[in-house]
A and B are shown apart, each in its own frame.
Chain A
Amino acid sequence: MTAIDPLRDYDIFDLGFVRDPFATMDEIRESGCPIAHSDRWGGSWFPTRYDDVVAMAQEHDLFTSREIIVVPPADPSNEGPYADVAAPPITSDPPEHHWHRRLILPFFSPQSVATFEQGTRDLCNRLIDGFIESGEADAAADYAQQIPVRVIATMLGVPTDMSDTFTGWVRGVLETGLTNPEVRLEARLNILRYFEAQLADRKANPREDDLITTLLHAEVDGERVPDSYVIGVCNLMLVAGVDTTWSAIGASLWHLAQHPEHCRQLVDDPDLWGSAIEELLRAYAPVTMARIVDRDIEFQGCPMHAGDRVLMSFPAANRDPRQFENPDEVILDRERNRHVAFGAGIHRCAGSNLARLELRVALQTWLSRIPEFRLADPDSVTWAGGQVRGPRQCKVTF
């Protein structure tokens, strides 16, 4: 038993919560007060019921995206020339949100992301080639972690051999930097400086079929979009497209390592993949976003004030028994699954089609080559949590 009272003092960075957040979420959800509050880490509200989380996601004028990180940022005056660079459209509110999002959506339509399928499959096979003979691997570090960063780099048109550097920056923003504003700021500035140089290079040497070049030439109401927008989009794609998908791939492999019957089902019945991917996303939704309350309001009996932070816990929503039968059970052919792993409303994850493709291809390729595998030592698995939850070390044998 923990000494922490989850209703009044939850701590999303507590190691026990990171390892297993679901017991705490259940306790809050089934209490008389399903929206908890804690003063830790700058203070936040923590809705745990599906209907509340979805309603808050859809009420974007009340629960704004001025800040989306779960802990308050460092003093913006430390950011110098980059203070106005955000991560559009995830950090945008209407009316700008509309064009911030509309310009990038075509890159992430199902038709567009399908062009990355074969390259992703080849990448997964190369990674497996590197460890299959040894009979063991770290499914998180050697495999899951290596995939999305290279896919995103390819999409952005930047060198994939920078992958380890990109991964370090992303972890600086979303993992170690979450509780350490100085680390977060340094990582953020590294990302923004890098993409500012990429923009300068594209301006001098425009490239065909290149996302950054396309955005640099985009116009809204007859005017070129500002560089700060393009740098911000690149920032978003890196920060939001790497840790998240890698966490989903890793958590799914962690699950499959303990459920050989699910591995067999997926190998025997390829038609299962569509619903299976959705179910794994539901059960192991990696992402918790934040919202800032726009004005004083009472929401479901909670006295919220302008500027309060709300944790949009999509993982908690996805385990609500009011919405999902047997929510803690992974049912690969689940019939009704309105999961919100990608959020809901106008901020639905713009990269969701790409994330799904990467998750499916990563798991399909793994199972085609390694149909039977198990955790080497369940106690040695380590997890990251807070904003993005997933395994960081997950040794398996086969």
Chain B
Amino acid sequence: MRVRVDDGSCHGHQSCAIAAPEVFGADDYGNAVVLITGDIPDDLHAKVRRAEGNCPERAIVIED
């Protein structure tokens, strides 16, 4: 699994970082950044899916 944030859609709710703090963080303006480059470890997949399901802007893109 890989994950990215659509910069045009993200408006900095930080819902992803609450659901999966190991995977998502914030830049200086509070917009989401992905902290893990490359494949997401298996044990974090459920959290990433939860992050995707909690983003009001639907800005999280999961690539399985």
Q: Which residues of chain A have a CB within 8 Å of any CB of chain B?
A: 54, 58, 102, 105-106, 108-111, 274-275, 277-278, 335-340, 342, 344-346, 348, 352-353, 356
Query: A352 with B26: in contact, given A278-B54, A344-B56 (CB under 8 Å)?
Result: no
B48 at interface (Cβ–Cβ under 8 A)? no
Residue contacts A-B, CB under 8 angstroms, 8 given: A105-B28, A111-B26, A278-B15, A337-B54, A344-B57, A348-B13, A352-B12, A353-B14
The answer on a CB contact under 8 Å between B17 and A110 is yes
Bound form: Cα–Cα A302–B25 in Å: 40
The answer on a CB contact under 8 Å between B26 and A109 is yes
Chain B positions within 8 Å of A108 at CB level: 30
The answer on a CB contact under 8 Å between B13 and A352 is yes
Bound form: Cα–Cα A205–B27 in Å: 32
The secondary-structure label for the interface of chain B is loop
Q: Which residues of chain B have a CB within 8 Å of any CB of chain A?
A: 11-15, 17-19, 25-30, 50, 53-58
Residue of B nearest to A105 (CB): B29
Residue of B nearest to A347 (CB): B11
CB distance from A12 to the nearest CB of B (A): 23
Bound form: Cα–Cα A109–B29 in Å: 6
Query: A274 with B30: in contact, given A336-B54, A338-B55 (CB under 8 Å)?
Result: no
Chain A positions within 8 Å of B17 at CB level: 110
The answer on a CB contact under 8 Å between A353 and B29 is no
The answer on a CB contact under 8 Å between A346 and B18 is no
Bound form: Cα–Cα A140–B9 in Å: 36
